[in-house]
């Protein structure tokens, strides 16, 4: 009788690659579209708090076929989403500020009345790079100037990301149960949930996003430009001033239809790919036939205890 194949724990072995793929899958499972690994345990943290208070695990409930959302599952996913949005806002505020400043300079350069801008053979006159935009903002406002509009950005992301994940998980679970799906992530439910979560979050937070952009343009674009400023920096300042005045006269909802269209398509594709990637990783099999981490962790010198969330 042949012996059972053993798990190969060599650094470059296929089993080791599968092991870490499943480990990273747990990080993915805790926060779709969340780039920071520090947020990996947010969902499980909220689940632990709720289970300690009520005796019921929202994550176990969600993964049972035929169940519908409860106030506890909504609170778990929305709370984890709000944490995700709050932390990522710290990193993304400077990125969006520089992006807005750069895009505005490009727009103003393309609409400028300067003969040098319209002269044949002259390209990118009046436009500035992202690096130039960032340097100019730091020169005028200091390093903290890169976080101009942070409070509005923070509010937008905390509210929006909480709504995003709450709607996504609630819709997905409801559709799976209504149509009798035995899988927690049926393709149709994932696609519909992806569309609705994007629409819902932007409908609520779009005015905040508009106010945030206005605040950034107003604060960064204000003030006199030093005489030693380069043409690119002067163009950036002029562009921001013009954009701020124009934005002040526009509606807080202007352009919402396009952001909803973009968000619907983007989230439908993004969440479908994300969920399918989790399925592919879950189906990976170790050399000894095992599929779950608790079955092989002893081979890798890890704790072999089976945790309730290992298969979520």
Q: What are phi and psi of 287, to 5 degrees?
A: -60, -30
pLDDT tops 70 at residue 237: no
User: Residue ranges of the domains in the chain?
Assistant: 36-278
- Could you read off the pLDDT of 33-67 as tens digits, one per residue? 444 444 456 788 898 999 999 999 998 999 888 99
Instruction: Report the pLDDT averaged over residues 234-247.
Output: 56
For residues 72 and 48, the answer to whether their CB atoms sit within 8 Å is: no
**What's the number of CA atoms in the CB half-sphere (13 Å) around residue 73?**
19
- pLDDT number for residue 177: 92
Write the DSSP assignment of 209-278 as a string of letters: HHHHHHHHHHHHH-SPPPTT--HHHHHHHHHHHHHHHHHHTS-TTTTHHHHHHHHHHHHHHHHHHHHHHH
- Classified by CATH at the fold level, domain 36-278 comes out as Mitochondrial carrier fold (1.50.40)
- Write the CA distances from 281 to 27, 31, 272, integer angstroms: 12, 16, 14
**What's the number of CA atoms in the CB half-sphere (13 Å) around residue 66?**
0
- Could you read off the pLDDT of 159-192 as tens digits, one per residue? 999 999 999 999 999 999 999 887 778 899 999 9
Q: Is 206 left (phi over 0), alpha (psi -120 to 50) or beta?
A: alpha
Q: Give the other-Cβ count within 10 Å of 43's Cβ.
A: 26
Q: Which tokens belong to 183?
A: 């899988």
Write the DSSP assignment of 45-114 as a string of letters: HHHHHHHHHHS--HHHHHTSTT----HHHHHHHHHHHHHHHHHHHHHHHHHHHHHHHHHHHHHHHHH---
Report residue 29 CA to chain centroid gap.
13
Structure pTM? 0.75
Cα separation, 193 vs 165, in Å, equals: 10
């Amino acid at each position: 009788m042949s012996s059972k194949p053993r798990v190969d724990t060599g650094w470059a072995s296929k089993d080791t690659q599968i092991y870490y793929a499943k480990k990273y899958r747990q990080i993915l499972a805790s926060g779709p579209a969340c780039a920071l690994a520090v947020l990996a345990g947010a969902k499980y943290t909220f689940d632990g708090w709720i289970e300690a208070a009520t005796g019921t695990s929202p994550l176990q409930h969600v993964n049972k076929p035929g169940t519908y959302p409860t106030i506890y599952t909504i609170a778990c996913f929305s709370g984890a989403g709000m944490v995700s949005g709050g932390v990522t806002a710290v990193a993304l505020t400077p990125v969006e500020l520089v992006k807005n400043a750069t895009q505005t300079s490009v727009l103003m350069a393309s609409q400028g009345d300067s003969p040098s801008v319209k002269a044949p053979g002259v390209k990118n006159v009046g436009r500035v790079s992202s690096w130039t935009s960032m340097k100019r903002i730091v020169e005028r406002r200091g390093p903290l100037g890169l976080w101009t509009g942070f409070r509005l950005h923070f509010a937008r992301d905390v509210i929006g990301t909480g709504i995003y994940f709450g709607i996504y998980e609630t819709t997905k679970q409801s559709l799976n149960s209504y149509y009798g799906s035995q899988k927690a992530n049926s393709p149709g439910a994932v696609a519909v949930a992806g569309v609705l979560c994007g629409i819902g979050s932007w409908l609520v937070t779009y005015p905040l996003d508009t106010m945030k952009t206005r605040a950034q343009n107003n604060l960064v674009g204000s003030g006199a430009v030093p005489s030693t400023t380069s043409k690119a920096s002067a163009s950036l300042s002029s562009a921001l001033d013009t954009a701020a005045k124009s934005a002040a006269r526009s509606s807080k909802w202007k352009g919402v239809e396009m952001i909803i269209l973009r968000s619907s398509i983007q989230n439908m594709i993004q969440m479908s790919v994300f969920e399918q990637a989790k399925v592919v990783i879950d189906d990976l099999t170790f050399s000894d036939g095992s599929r779950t981490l608790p079955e092989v962790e002893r081979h890798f010198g890890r704790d072999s205890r089976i945790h309730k969330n290992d298969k979520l």
